[in-house]
Chain A
């Protein structure tokens, strides 16, 4: 191919092209053509083997391909029927359409909650040491604590004197008050009721009570809301005496 070309007169009309070296500028790897025929023969044999393995050696039953599509369709129907029976479970309509979205939402919420929990942090190994620290500050410290001297608020001698003084005051005060206070009899003698009734003879009072007193007397006086004063009581008694004397 690299030999000089003959009958190239046409190149005389194209001077630029004529100046170009007409030899083949392309090259091939060294020894390429020495092995090319062997490579091609191997390639051809390989291709024949491939063709023979595709078309020969295996056979199929008669009319296999004619019936193949029908058989496949029948098999598909059987598989579908079996699958329906096998599952038995149903899901709400559109369940699987929304499932991925729901899962994503759930994950988002979970992550948000987790982030919230993690907003506060503790020093590393804090909880591992926490119980130890607490024990250290409570039980162990208590047991290790030296016994202190119990100090009483009051010394025994001062407390005794104070107690005696208080008792003296209480007793003395009580006696003083009781001596200076009039007793119930004297109080009664000085009361208006005593003064009013003492002027009336006992016999008249007894006869009055025998004739007029009953269980509801006291209540009647209260219910009538009469003002209990000296004048009212005197008048009532006077009226009673008058009526009995008549």
Chain B
């Protein structure tokens, strides 16, 4: 695994036009997988995630010159990726004229049919349980459970208070536990 460059160094390189492309390549190598998995867990399908990760980095490239140093680069990119996911899911809901809950059912079907899911039965059941959650709770649970993100970072990403995020997370975990017990 290559040595990852500090975010501050990446931003400094990006300010200089001569090293801008280099800085962007460093940014890609550092965060592309993290952001991909964040997106993938939300939209489930690999092809959709592939489109969204590219759209996310296009926005990063466009908006990075105006990035303010008072926020973390990492959480800023997560916010862009999260917004791309929510926009995509809303479009999918409007396109198919179905409620958001039914989008979750559709995603569960996609998961069952996906050739890029390598989990066991318990992991599949967990993903099905996650897909029953409201969108915000899904985001919070995924960021905490898979990315082990701190509540303060999540607050930066989602623009929600730490207390509200904690409440959302515990609510989500209880629902998932109940789902897993009911299906045992």
Contacts and interface: CB of A to CB of B under 8 A. Distances in A.
A180 interface: no
A192 interface: no
B88 interface: no
Interface in B119-164: 119-120, 122-127, 145-148
Interface residues of A, number: 30
B37 A16 contact: no
Given A17-B180, A21-B120, A1 B37 contact: yes
A20 interface: yes
Contact of B116 (A5, A20, A29, A37): A29
Nearest to A1: B37
A184 interface: no
Contact of B117 (A17, A27, A41): A27
B123 to A, nearest CB: 4
B107 to A, nearest CB: 12
B120 to A, nearest CB: 7
A81 to B, nearest CB: 45
Contacts of B28: 36-37, 40-41
A16 B181 contact: yes
Interface in A18-59: 19-22, 24-29, 32-33, 36-37, 39-41, 43-44, 47
16 contacts: A7-B148, A14-B174, A17-B126, A19-B122, A20-B180, A21-B123, A25-B120, A25-B123, A25-B124, A27-B116, A28-B116, A36-B36, A37-B28, A41-B24, A43-B57, A44-B24
Interface of A: 1, 5-8, 10, 14-17, 19-22, 24-29, 32-33, 36-37, 39-41, 43-44, 47
Interface of B: 21, 24-25, 28-29, 32-34, 36-37, 40-41, 46, 50, 53-54, 57-58, 61, 116-120, 122-127, 145-148, 173-174, 176-177, 180-181, 184
